[in-house]
Structure 1
Amino acid sequence: MSSWLVAAPWLSARTIHAYYFVLRYGERGLMRVAMIRVLLLMTAAAVAVVAVNVAAADEAIVIDGGTLIDVGRPELTGPATIIIEQGRIRAVGPAGELEWPAGARIIDARGSYVMPGIADMHNHLRDGLFRQGGDQAGVLRNLLSWGITTTFNPGVPVEEYAALRSAIAADPAAYPQTFLIRGVFTTKGGWGNGFTPETPAEARAIVLQLKAAGSDGVKLMYDDMRWATTRPFPVMDRAVAAAIIDEAHKQGMLAFAHAPIQELAKQVLEDGIDCLLHGIISEPIDAEFIELMKRNNACYISTLTMFQTNAGYAEWADRLKAFDFEKRLDSNALAIFHKAPNGTARLDNTDWTVERLPVLRLNLFTANSAGIPVVIGTDTGIPGVLPGIAAQLEMVMHVEAGLTPEDVLKAATSNPALMFGRAGQFGTLAPGAQADLLILNADPRRNIENIRRIRHVIRAGRVVR
Structure 2
Amino acid sequence: MCVDALPPPSRRLTRRGVLAGAAALAGTAGAGSAFAAPAPADTRQAAEHRITAPRGGDLVLRGGTLLDPASGDVIEDAVVVMEGGIVRAVGPRGEVAAPADVETLDAHGKWILPGLIDAHIHLSTVAEARDAVRGGATTVRSGSTTFYQDIALRELARQVPTQAPRLKAAGVFVTPDLGDTVLADPDLTPLARLRGGVRSPEALRRVVEVNLERGADVIKTRVNERAGLPEQDPLTQVYSYEQLSEIVAAARRGGKGVLCHSYSEKGCHDAVMAGIRSLEHGVFVGERTLHEMRRRDTYFTPTLTAIAGLVDSSDPVLAERGRTYLPVLKRAVRAAHELGVPLAAGTDSSGGTVDRIGREVELMREAGLPALAAIRTATTQAARLLGLDKRAGRLMRGYAGDAVVVDGNPLADVSVLKKPVRVVRSGIPV
TM-score, length basis structure 1: 0.71
RMSD: 2.8
1:438–1:162 distance in 2 versus 1, CA, 3 Å: closer
Superposed CA deviations along residues 88-120 of structure 1, whole A, max 9, x for unmatched, are: 110112211122224122333232211111122
Preserved CA contact (<8 Å) 2:408 2:416: yes
Give the aligned partner of residue 32 of structure 1: none
Q: Which moved more, 1:138-147 or 1:214-223?
A: 138-147
416, 419, 424: which one aligns with 1:450: 416
110, 113, 119: which one aligns with 1:121: 119
Q: Which secondary structure does the structure 2 equivalent of 1:74 belong to?
A: coil
1:268–1:453 distance in 2 versus 1, CA, 3 Å: closer
1:143 positional shift: 1.9
Higher-RCO chain (CA-CA 8 Å, sequence separation at least 6): 1
Q: Which secondary structure does the structure 1 equivalent of 2:399 belong to?
A: coil
1:352–1:157 distance in 2 versus 1, CA, 3 Å: closer
1:449–1:159 distance in 2 versus 1, CA, 3 Å: closer
Superposed CA deviations along residues 254-281 of structure 1, whole A, max 9, x for unmatched, are: 1010012121110011110100121x32
Which of the pair has more CA radius of gyration?
2
Matches within 5 A, 1:352-431: 352-381=321-350, 386-389=353-356, 391-431=357-397
Preserved CA contact (<8 Å) 1:60 1:103: no
Give the aligned partner of residue 294 of structure 1: 294
Task: Work out whether 1:308 is the aligned partner of 2:308.
Answer: yes
Q: Which secondary structure does the structure 1 equivalent of 2:91 belong to?
A: strand
Preserved CA contact (<8 Å) 2:391 2:399: yes
Superposed CA deviations along residues 57-115 of structure 1, whole A, max 9, x for unmatched, are: 65532222321111203345333221111101101122111222241223332322111
Q: Which secondary structure does the structure 1 equivalent of 2:139 belong to?
A: strand
Task: Work out whether 1:92 is the aligned partner of 2:90.
Answer: yes
Distance in 2 separating the partners of 1:58 and 1:120: 21
Percent identical among aligned pairs is 23
Give the aligned partner of residue 218 of structure 1: 219
56, 62, 80: which one aligns with 1:82: 80
Preserved CA contact (<8 Å) 1:81 1:93: yes
Distance in 1 separating the partners of 2:143 and 2:154: 14
Preserved CA contact (<8 Å) 2:111 2:408: yes
Task: Work out whether 1:342 is the aligned partner of 2:323.
Answer: no
1:180 positional shift: 1.4
Distance in 2 separating the partners of 1:243 and 1:260: 20
Superposed CA deviations along residues 129-163 of structure 1, whole A, max 9, x for unmatched, are: xxxxxxx1111012222222112221111364565
Task: Work out whether 1:176 is the aligned partner of 2:165.
Answer: yes
**Structure 1: gaps spanning 5 or more residues:** 1-39, 43-55, 127-135, 314-340
Distance in 2 separating the partners of 1:299 and 1:382: 25
Preserved CA contact (<8 Å) 1:191 1:223: no
Give the aligned partner of residue 22 of structure 2: none
Superposed CA deviations along residues 149-208 of structure 1, whole A, max 9, x for unmatched, are: 1122211113645654564455345321112111111225x9996774332233223322
1:351 positional shift: 2.5
The amino acid of 2:338's aligned partner reads S
Q: Which secondary structure does the structure 2 equivalent of 1:97 belong to?
A: coil
Superposed CA deviations along residues 217-259 of structure 1, whole A, max 9, x for unmatched, are: 1111110458966864561243222111012112110101001
Distance in 2 separating the partners of 1:312 and 1:92: 43
Q: Which secondary structure does the structure 2 equivalent of 1:399 belong to?
A: helix
**Structure 2: gaps spanning 5 or more residues:** 1-45, 49-53, 183-190, 192-196
Q: Which secondary structure does the structure 2 equivalent of 1:277 belong to?
A: strand
